[in-house]
Amino acid sequence: MSLIGSLFISYSGLYTNTIATKVTADNLSNLNTTGFKGSRCEFLNEVVGSNQEVMRCEGYGSFVKSISTIYTQGGLQTTDIPTDLAILGKGFFIVKDTKGNIFYTRDGQFYVNEVDENNFALQNSLGMYLLGAEPDAKTMDLNVLKPYLIPKLMPPKGSSKISAQLIFDSRITANTRNLLENYSFDKDNPLVPLKDGEYDYVWEFTIYDTYGTKVNLRLYADRGENINEYEVLLSLSDPTLDKRGEGPYKGAFLYGKLTFGAAGDVISAEFSQISDTEGTLTPIDLIQTGYPEFILNLEGNNQKITLDLGFKVREDGTIERKINASALMANAFSQLFYDQDGYPLGVFDRIEIITEEGLIIAWYTNQQQADVSRIFLADFTGYEGSLEKVGNNLFRTKVGIKPFIFAPSSSERGRIMSGALETSNVDIANEMLNLIVLQRAFQSNARVMTTADQMMEDFIRQV
């Protein structure tokens, strides 16, 4: 090997170590970059054949074989921001730009951004959409995934079921009154169809009509003639909302009798729909329906409602009581539980949580939540042969590579942690050690080049 060859060999060492130093510098500069995957420089020795018959080869320096990406798991940094997502295990988030290009990333820093006048969507800082599927999807294909929009508004829902646990006072004495006969709508005093003394107690319930407007109901109770019975009558607190016409029973919709056993439990029930404002009763077949169902007329719109007082009539006519069943007790009238399934118009408020299965749950100002989408992840067989870095913490697939799409979960290869971000997987101690080794290698190659230069200079002087 000539002295000139030594110069070129040392030059190759300087060049490869310079490239490796740049890789280390890139790793260190991205020490705090979310989801960053560090790289390493891989070298090969270069040889040259000096005799084709003997095939004796001599070393001719080094060159950079490749700069490979290290795909190990990074650390976790909690942020308590629900849209900050970290992947525990394998997988990549799938994002799409405005031109339809698909990219993959471990950077789970997403934001709820407005995309049009009706919807929000999850996007990263580059404006790329996070792709997902229907909330109940279990498997998915890449071509089917799409940016799922979060509606700004949740439409109102009219109440269809009322549930209540009521206590009827057993100490009230029997009387000869009749709720149905005493009820009378009076135009001059429309809000008082039953006067004080014509019933024993009244409960106030709140429901919603189909437009999301709050409506108040009244459930009147009276002991009646039998000591083991109670009459009940359900009406609108404001009977003028009933548009079925004028009549003495305007605002009244449901009438019934509850019979209690010795233990205070409901042992039988009968209910009738008050079908018109003249008081026509239409018996309700509780064996058929299980619960009393009635049609409520609100501003001209019919709304079917089920009343659940904690018991159900079986097909054989017996009573099935729940834990929260209404009962007769030697206590004051009271309401232990109340619920209804209607709600008003809601405006998007926040994303409260994203589950480890990737389910995105949105909350609205009407205190309702909605499952809007499920995040799917992508994985690959052999990351180095499948992906290439394109910057901005993004990867794209190489030609001919197709990802494996899966729903994250604790039983899968990867799951999602909401309220946390994956930090860079760069090990600062290891990078500093590499930097020291590279520095010494660079100095050694520089010394070889200097020595070869001096030897050539000495040789030329002697010639």
Position with higher pLDDT, 101 vs 21: 101
On whether residue 393 sits in a domain, the answer given is no
Rounded to whole angstroms, how far apart are CA atoms 86 and 420? 6
On whether residue 408 sits in a domain, the answer given is no
Whether 186 and 278 map to the same domain: the answer is: yes
457 has pLDDT over 80: no
With CA atoms as reference, report the closest residue to 228 among 262, 256, 255, 201: 262
Whether 107 and 55 map to the same domain: the answer is: no
- Gyration radius of the chain's alpha carbons: 39
Whether 166 and 315 map to the same domain: the answer is: yes
Whether 221 and 275 map to the same domain: the answer is: yes
Domain total for the chain? 3
Question: Sign (positive/negative) of CA torsion 290, 368, 325, 182?
Answer: negative
HSE of 397, CA atoms in CB hemisphere, 13 A: 17
What pLDDT, on a 0 to 100 scale, did the predictor assign at position 54? Answer: 45
What pLDDT, on a 0 to 100 scale, did the predictor assign at position 46? Answer: 59
On whether residue 400 sits in a domain, the answer given is no
On whether residue 219 sits in a domain, the answer given is yes
55 has pLDDT over 50: no
On whether residue 384 sits in a domain, the answer given is no
1 has pLDDT over 70: no
Whether 198 and 302 map to the same domain: the answer is: yes
Whether 101 and 148 map to the same domain: the answer is: yes
236 has pLDDT over 90: yes
What pLDDT, on a 0 to 100 scale, did the predictor assign at position 48? Answer: 54
DSSP letter (8 states) at residue 265: B
On whether residue 405 sits in a domain, the answer given is no
**DSSP result, 394-441:** EEEEPTT--PEEE---TTSSEEEEETEEE-----HHHHHHHHHHHHHH
Q: H/E element holding 6?
A: helix 3-29
Whether 49 and 85 map to the same domain: the answer is: no
Whether 62 and 10 map to the same domain: the answer is: yes
**Residue 3 pLDDT grade (very low, low, confident, very high; cuts 50, 70, 90):** low
- CATH number of the domain within which 329 lies: 2.60.98.20
Rounded to whole angstroms, how far apart are CA atoms 217 and 237? 5
Q: What is the pLDDT of residues 168-211, one digit of tens each?
A: 999 999 998 999 999 999 988 999 999 999 999 999 999 999 99
On whether residue 411 sits in a domain, the answer given is no
Whether 315 and 208 map to the same domain: the answer is: yes
442 has pLDDT over 70: yes
**Residue 396 pLDDT grade (very low, low, confident, very high; cuts 50, 70, 90):** very high
Q: What is the pLDDT of residues 325-378, one digit of tens each?
A: 999 999 999 999 999 999 999 999 999 889 999 999 999 999 999 999 899 999
What pLDDT, on a 0 to 100 scale, did the predictor assign at position 349? Answer: 94
Average pLDDT over residues 398-419: 91
Whether 321 and 210 map to the same domain: the answer is: yes
Whether 90 and 230 map to the same domain: the answer is: no
Rounded to whole angstroms, how far apart are CA atoms 328 and 170? 6
Q: Choose the most confident range, by mean pLDDT, from 55-69, 116-130, 135-149.
A: 116-130
Domain that holds residue 358: 79-152+347-376+417-422
Structure tokens at 275: 């079908």
What is the share, in percent, of the chain residues with pLDDT greater than 90? 63
Whether 189 and 316 map to the same domain: the answer is: yes
Instruction: Select from 340, 367, 399 the last residue of a domain.
Output: 340
Instruction: Select from 289, 318, 340 the last residue of a domain.
Output: 340
Mean pLDDT of the chain: 89
On whether residue 388 sits in a domain, the answer given is no
